[in-house]
Structure 1
Amino acid sequence: MTGISGGGVMTERKKKYGGLRSGQTIAICLAGLATLWISSGAVTQTPDKGAEESRAARGDQKILVRVRESVSQVRQSYVTVFGRTEAVKKVNIAAETEGQVIARNIMKGAWIKKGQAILQIAMNDRGAHLSDAEAKFEYQRLAYASATKLSKKQFQSRIRVAEVLSNFESAKSELAEIRLDIHRTTVRAPINGYIETFPVGVGDYLQTGEIVATVVNLNPIRVVAHVSEREVTKLRVGDKARILLAEGVKREGEIKYVARIGEQETRTFRVEVWFSNSKKVIPEGLTAELKLKTARKHAHKVSPAVLTLNDEGIIGVKAVNKDKSVIFYPVQIMEDTNEGVWLIGLPPRLTIITVGQEFVQVGQTVRTSRDEVELKGNSTDFNSVKSAS
């Protein structure tokens, strides 16, 4: 009885709880199917007719852009290169005789004039050599004068006169040599300028040919730069050049030299532009920007704001043709000035889009308004383009 009773209880439990589990499973399946149905787009909503009509109206409306007629002008073309300032006159002063330095007559950095003494080398025994040379010279001078007189009276042979003359010339040469050596003991400035380097001091022993000082004259001064092989043939000696130095200092100079042999490693050519530096405030070694004249070209002056990029990332401008269709023209920037950007690569005459070029595509037909007339409803037109895009 107990077993039968237990079996009945188990049967009742299966009926009760087994049925509940089946209902839960069905509910879960139905919920999953509903989710798939909704996500698949089977459930539809009533369309917003107002939004569709608004989008249709915007699609039919042509975009309004502002345009300006542009005519090319002949413009001087320049090539821009960078160089550095360099003194035109710079002299290394070398000792022309040997000896010990006994005096420095000027300080490093001072301004000196041509011929002014810089330092003094000790005389040592040069004074004694001078006295000896002067005595020999005087003796040989008298001997030659006496021989000449005797020769005229035929008391002296011509050979003897020639021998005395040779001795006299030798004594004269020795005297000139010692005098020159004494003169060289005072080292003097060969040009006007500043003492840039002065490495020797009192007590130093100098050898002949040793550098004792460097003198620089900064007026005029030059900018040395290198131009490419494509541009060098366009430059002419005597042409004017623009110079831009540090802190916006501007100067105008003249091309004084264009190399005829290029650098083998860089294939560039040396160019020198000289300009006035009367106040001597521009030192050697400053970085300088040079604008060198090359050729005259037809160019358009526009605002930098009209520049745009196409899908390939090429810089250019957008314009409209006679059918009011948008055209893209690639350009090259010839010069950037405070008044505007000069562009080359454009037709001689065209209608440039000055406002709205970023909201229209190439080939699109647009409405136009002249640049001198203020656009009305401009923001509405552009906003509609943004919404459509």
Structure 2
Amino acid sequence: MRLIPLLTALAVTAFLVLAVLQRDALYQFARENHLALLLGETDDADAAEPPAAPEPQETRETPAPEGVRVVARHSQAEVVDTAVILRGQTEAAREVSVMAETSGLVISEPLRKGAFVEPGQLLCELDPGTRGAALDEALARLEEAEARVPGIEAGVPEAEARLQEALARLDEAEINARAANALKRDGFSTETRVAATQAAVRSAEASVSAARAGIETAKSGLKGAQAAIRTAEAAVAVARKEIDRLQVTAPFAGLLDSDAAELGTLMQPGALCATIIQLDPIKLVAYVPETEVARIALGAMAGAQLAEGSDVRGEVTFLSRSADPTTRTFRVEITAANPELRIRDGQTAEIAISTEGVAAHLLPASVLTLNDEGALGIRSVTEDSTVAFLPVTLLRDTREGVWLAGLPDRVDVITLGQEYVESGVRVIPTFREVTAEVSQ
């Protein structure tokens, strides 16, 4: 009974020694047979036929061509629209938290979140309190200030008339003084007469100065009355503005994202009345890496697929000129129509922004491979039937295959057997189109 395990161990050892010593030959044999099975080139038919008679010794077999059998296909480049693929989210076009500007109790019934409001629609109404009385008082002071103006304005012409009268008296006093001095020189007037005429001149000059001061006083009184009117008008405007602040209205059409302030709530300046968001149009927001930002232009068409499966289209309306200091990415905004408000704020979106077209090849994903350095590429057949590794750039993954850029306009791509050959190895290519099963 111990003989069978011993023989088994000897057989396994012999097989392992053979596998190590004849590794290259076994690897070549396995590779050729694997490709032959993929190509459908088996020797079953030959095995079924009876063995042929041995040929005469003079006849020699034609040597088989050297090389590894592979399957390849001719690929021609096509110009395809490329896109910058980003992951972002939807964002409301506008969002405003409407605050109270004055204090008071809410006396209006609240609107519930989700309600659609129009521009200027009442959201919260506050108790007016004594604001109406304050407005009446301001109006009364305005009327009082306006009533003082006619009397003050009438004092200005009166002061000007007094000035003219004082000037006339001054002229008369100066004439009398000159006449008295002339009579004195001829001996017909006394010193007393001359002194009296000079005193009259001084008195007339004082009257002129007083009349001029009266004019300035009248004008300053008029300016004071006008200032009082402006002050009263400002008080009226403040009282009316305070009354206007009692009604908090919607600044634009949108949806309430929160309930309006409840009835009886005491509002203070800066207290939240309601939050409104505008979803039509909707914005798609993402952040572009600095390696891709140069490919995006304002006005470029863009599309997005939301997490729940719906599609949306729009155009780029904003591209930031400054990068985020942490991520070194640039904010991009796409504006899209949302008339039915089916797109909500904050949904995840897979965004594709169109750019200029490039030449690319549509190939099955199975042709992709890695070289020793870890670079992604494909293996192709050169004109001298050797293998060449060509690095590629993956543009897009579709149901029909992957679009690859960075290849020549025409290339012979190895579709089967690329994992068994390396650059510089001679191959025997069989050109055929890849079936749907292989491409998958």
TM-score range, shorter chain: 0.7 to 0.9
TM-score under structure 1 length normalisation: 0.75
Q: Counterparts in 2 of 1:36-51, with a 5 A limit?
A: none
8 Å CA contact 1:235–1:294 kept in 2: the answer is yes
For the pair 1:67 / 2:72, whether they are aligned, the reply is yes
Q: Which residue of structure 2 lines up, in the alignment, with residue 110 of structure 1?
A: 115
Q: Which residue of structure 2 lines up, in the alignment, with residue 138 of structure 1?
A: 143
Q: Counterparts in 2 of 1:207-246, with a 5 A limit?
A: 207-246=268-307
1:332–1:147 distance in 2 versus 1, CA, 3 Å: same
Cα distance in 1 between the residues matched to 2:359 and 2:122: 59
Q: Which residue of structure 2 lines up, in the alignment, with residue 378 of structure 1?
A: none
SS at match of 1:338: coil
Structure showing the higher strand proportion among its residues: 1
TM-score under structure 2 length normalisation: 0.67
Q: Which residue of structure 2 lines up, in the alignment, with residue 44 of structure 1?
A: none
For the pair 1:205 / 2:266, whether they are aligned, the reply is yes
Q: Which residue of structure 2 lines up, in the alignment, with residue 83 of structure 1?
A: 88
SS at match of 2:255: strand
Which of 125-134 and 330-339 deviates more?
330-339
- CA apart distance, 1:83: 0.9
- CA apart distance, 1:309: 4.9
Cα distance in 2 between the residues matched to 1:85 and 1:70: 40
**For each residue in 1:43-76, what CA deviation from the matched residue of structure 2 results, as whole angstroms up to 9, or x when unmatched?**
xxxxxxxxxxxx7997957665443221222333
1:357–1:144 distance in 2 versus 1, CA, 3 Å: farther
Read off the aligned partner of 2:107 and give its amino acid letter: I
1:266–1:351 distance in 2 versus 1, CA, 3 Å: same
SS at match of 1:102: coil
Give the alignment partner of residue 342 of structure 2, picking from 281, 294, 314: 281
For the pair 1:357 / 2:362, whether they are aligned, the reply is no
Which of 328-337 and 58-67 deviates more?
58-67
Cα distance in 2 between the residues matched to 1:230 and 1:310: 25
- CA apart distance, 1:142: 2.3
SS at match of 2:362: strand
- CA apart distance, 1:279: 1.2
1:105–1:247 distance in 2 versus 1, CA, 3 Å: closer
Q: Which residue of structure 1 lines up, in the alignment, with residue 221 of structure 2?
A: 160
- Which structure: larger Rg? 2
Structure showing the higher helix proportion among its residues: 2
**For each residue in 1:117-148, what CA deviation from the matched residue of structure 2 results, as whole angstroms up to 9, or x when unmatched?**
11111111112112211222222222224433
Which of 225-234 and 68-77 deviates more?
68-77
Which of 185-194 and 293-302 deviates more?
293-302
1:195–1:35 distance in 2 versus 1, CA, 3 Å: closer
Read off the aligned partner of 1:76 and give its amino acid letter: D
8 Å CA contact 2:105–2:266 kept in 1: the answer is yes
Cα distance in 2 between the residues matched to 1:321 and 1:277: 53
SS at match of 2:351: strand
1:168–1:313 distance in 2 versus 1, CA, 3 Å: closer
**For each residue in 1:16-64, what CA deviation from the matched residue of structure 2 results, as whole angstroms up to 9, or x when unmatched?**
xxxxxxxxxxxxxxx9xx989x7797xxxxxxxxxxxxx7997957665
Read off the aligned partner of 1:357 and give its amino acid letter: G
8 Å CA contact 2:287–2:332 kept in 1: the answer is yes
SS at match of 1:257: strand
**For each residue in 1:325-347, what CA deviation from the matched residue of structure 2 results, as whole angstroms up to 9, or x when unmatched?**
34333322111123331102322
8 Å CA contact 2:90–2:349 kept in 1: the answer is yes
- CA apart distance, 1:183: 0.8
1:145–1:82 distance in 2 versus 1, CA, 3 Å: farther
1:188–1:367 distance in 2 versus 1, CA, 3 Å: closer
- CA apart distance, 1:360: 4.7
For the pair 1:147 / 2:180, whether they are aligned, the reply is no
Read off the aligned partner of 2:421 and give its amino acid letter: Q
Cα distance in 1 between the residues matched to 2:288 and 2:271: 36
Cα distance in 2 between the residues matched to 1:367 and 1:171: 99
Report the RMSD for the aligned CA atoms in angstroms: 3.3
8 Å CA contact 2:260–2:273 kept in 1: the answer is yes
SS at match of 1:209: coil
Q: Which residue of structure 2 lines up, in the alignment, with residue 340 of structure 1?
A: 401
For the pair 1:186 / 2:247, whether they are aligned, the reply is yes
User: Structure 1 unaligned runs (5+)?
Assistant: 1-30, 42-54, 375-389
Identity of aligned residues (%): 33
- CA apart distance, 1:298: 2.3
8 Å CA contact 2:364–2:401 kept in 1: the answer is yes
For the pair 1:97 / 2:79, whether they are aligned, the reply is no
8 Å CA contact 1:227–1:269 kept in 2: the answer is yes
Cα distance in 1 between the residues matched to 2:429 and 2:270: 82
8 Å CA contact 2:367–2:418 kept in 1: the answer is no
Give the alignment partner of residue 361 of structure 2, picking from 300, 306, 316: 300
- CA apart distance, 1:312: 6.5
Cα distance in 1 between the residues matched to 2:267 and 2:232: 28
Cα distance in 2 between the residues matched to 1:35 and 1:249: 68
